Amino acid sequence: MQIRLTDLIAPSFYEVHHAVKSGAATHFLLSGGRGSTKSSFAAIEIILGMMRDPQANAVALRKVKDTIRESVFEQLLWAIEKLGVRHLWHASVSPMRLTYISTGQTIIFRGADNPRKVKSGKLRNGYVKFIWYEEADEFSLEDIRTINQTFMRGGDSFRVFYTFNPPKSRKSWVHEHKNNPPPGWFVHHSTYLDVPREWLGEQFFIEAETLKARNELAYRHEYLGEDVGTGGEVFRNLTIRRISDEEIAAFDRIRRGLDFGFAAHPTHYAVMHYDATRRRLFIFFEIHKVGMSNRALAEAIKAENKSNSRVTADSAEPRTIAELRNLGVNVVGAKKGPDSVDHGIKFLQDLDEIVIDPERCPNTAREFQSYELEPDGNGGWKDGFPDKDNHSIDAVRYALEDDMKHVKVRVGNKAKIGVR
The residues assigned a catalytic role are 135
Q: Which helix (H) or strand (E) is 301 found in, with range? A: helix 294-304
283: helix, strand or coil: strand
268: helix, strand or coil: strand
Whole-angstrom Cα distance, residue 13 to residue 188? 8
Whole-angstrom Cα distance, residue 160 to residue 206? 34
∠ CA(179), CA(183), CA(186), 5° rounding? 60
Is residue 117 within 8 Å of residue 61, measured between CB atoms?
A: no
Q: Which helix (H) or strand (E) is 398 found in, with range? A: helix 391-399
**What is the DSSP secondary structure assignment for residue 278, as one 8-state letter?**
T
Using a 10 angstrom Cβ sphere, with 0-12 exposed, 13-18 middle and 19 or more buried, the burial of residue 398 is: buried
Whole-angstrom Cα distance, residue 362 to residue 366? 6
Whole-angstrom Cα distance, residue 37 to residue 403? 50
Residue 357 carries which side chain, given as an amino acid letter?
Answer: D
Query: Residues of 245-273 as b/e, b for ≥16 C-beta within 10 angstroms?
Result: eeebeebeebbbbbbbbeeeebbbbbbbb
Whole-angstrom Cα distance, residue 17 to residue 14? 5
Residues near 319 by beta carbon (within 8 Å), at least 6 away in sequence? none
Bridge partners (DSSP) listed for residue 186: 28
Of 13, 109, 32, the closest CA to residue 69 belongs to 109
Whole-angstrom CA distances from 261 to 1, 239, 401, 405 are 65, 27, 20, 26
Question: How many of the other CB atoms lie within 10 Å of CB of 54?
Answer: 13
